[in-house]
């Protein structure tokens, strides 16, 4: 399996990113110890010059992780035909005990990297770099995620056994099954739609309120975090059913297949990006009172909120189109 080009690329990206973050960690220790913006020493000048290089390296690392997340899902879908019992990425992730942890780590690393990049962008616009210690200290929380992702993902691929019979999505995402996936699948479609619409209205209303009042960034981030979870719940318990036109097919991965016009990518990409931008708004809000950021953060926050709301609207429109254009009709839904 390791000779698969996609697998080799995924392992290479994770190893390189982890290695670069380890190197950056060494620089971060120096910066946290010696940084003094008021100093004109040679050491300070070297630190300032290196921060630009390090920021560029980190930007490429986190963008690579985003691509890696998409490639990991795509690769799992493509490999489903190689394992007995696997109908989609669900079966591949169930090959051993490392598949799902790898996916969760990649998602966590994506959100952490996205928030870090926004904080870095804000900090670089201020003349005194007021967040530089905070953002480089944060790397020590991101580094373990990157290393764990590299180790867990490599273990996942190494321990793949082609002769293992895996479970398909119908067994995992079934109301008759056990676990979180089964519980989510058992939620009534009408209930999940009510939750989705309610969370959408709340998220957009709070976003509009923050744009008008120029405060409440943490509330916007928290609401969108909840909206993200509700959206995933709605995809499994309701939206997927209409995409498949089957009242008992709850898989969140089969919607990524060409047979369903890759609609899953059109749902997940704006959902993840919109949520990442919303979380970034919450991350930078506490620093709005910093003198050099008083004008920068409100402006950037408004831009982030607009983009986040726009991306989420795209998600809601695609979800609505998937439901309204479907030939499936289920009892308990109001149209």
CB crowding 280-307: b at 16 or more within 10 Å, else e: bbbbbbebbebebbeebbeebbeebbeb
Q: How far apart are CA 90 and CA 251, in angstroms?
A: 8
Q: What is the per-residue pLDDT for 335?
A: 43
Which pLDDT does position 333 carry in this prediction? 44
For residue range 248-290, list pLDDT tens digits in order.
888 888 888 877 788 989 999 999 999 999 999 999 999 988 8
pLDDT score of 257: 83
Alpha-carbon span 304 to 275, nearest angstrom = 10
Closest CA to 48 of 57, 30, 35: 35
Q: CB count, 10 Å around CB of 22? A: 12
Element (H, E) at 32: helix 5-34
Q: In whole angstroms, what is the distance from residue 225 CA to residue 280 CA? A: 11
Q: Is the pLDDT of residue 334 over 50?
A: no
Question: What percent of the chain has a predicted confidence (pLDDT) above 90?
Answer: 49
Does 9 score more than 80 pLDDT?
yes
Of 174 and 197, more confident: 197
The per-residue pLDDT for range 96-153, each reduced to its tens digit, is 889 899 999 999 999 999 999 999 999 999 888 899 999 999 999 999 999 999 999 9
pLDDT for the residue numbered 194:
93
CA distances from 89 to 45, 254, 325 (A): 50, 8, 25
């Amino acid at each position: 399996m390791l000779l698969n080009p996609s697998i080799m690329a995924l392992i290479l990206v994770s190893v390189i990113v982890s290695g670069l973050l380890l190197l950056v960690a060494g620089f971060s220790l120096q910066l946290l110890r010696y940084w003094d913006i008021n100093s004109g020493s040679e050491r300070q000048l070297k630190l300032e010059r290196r921060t630009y290089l390090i920021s560029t390296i980190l930007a490429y690392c986190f963008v690579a992780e985003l691509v890696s997340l998409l490639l990991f899902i795509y690769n799992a879908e493509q490999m489903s035909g190689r394992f007995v019992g696997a109908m989609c990425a669900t079966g591949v992730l169930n090959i051993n005990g490392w598949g799902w942890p790898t996916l969760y780590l990649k998602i966590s690393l994506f959100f952490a990297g996205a928030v870090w990049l926004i904080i870095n962008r804000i900090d670089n616009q201020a003349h005194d770099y007021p967040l530089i210690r905070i953002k480089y200290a944060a790397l020590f929380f991101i580094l373990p995620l990157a290393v764990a992702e590299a180790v867990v993902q490599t273990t996942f691929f190494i321990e793949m056994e082609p002769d293992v019979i895996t479970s398909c999505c119908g067994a995992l995402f079934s109301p008759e099954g056990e676990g979180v996936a089964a519980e989510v699948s058992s939620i009534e479609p009408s209930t999940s739609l009510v939750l989705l619409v309610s969370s959408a209205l709340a998220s957009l209303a709070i976003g509009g309120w923050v744009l008008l009042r120029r405060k409440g960034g943490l509330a916007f981030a928290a609401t969108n975090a909840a909206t993200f979870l509700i959206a995933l719940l709605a995809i499994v318990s309701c939206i997927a059913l209409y995409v498949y036109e089957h009242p008992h097919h709850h898989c969140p991965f089969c919607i990524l297949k060409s047979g369903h016009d890759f609609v899953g990518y059109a749902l997940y990409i704006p959902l993840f990006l919109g949520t990442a931008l919303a979380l970034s708004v919450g991350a930078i809000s506490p620093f709005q009172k910093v003198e050099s950021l008083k004008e920068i953060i409100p402006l950037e926050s408004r831009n982030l909120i607009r983009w986040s709301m726009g991306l989420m609207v795209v998600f809601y429109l695609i979800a609505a189109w998937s439901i309204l254009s479907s030939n499936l009709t289920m009892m308990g839904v109001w149209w």
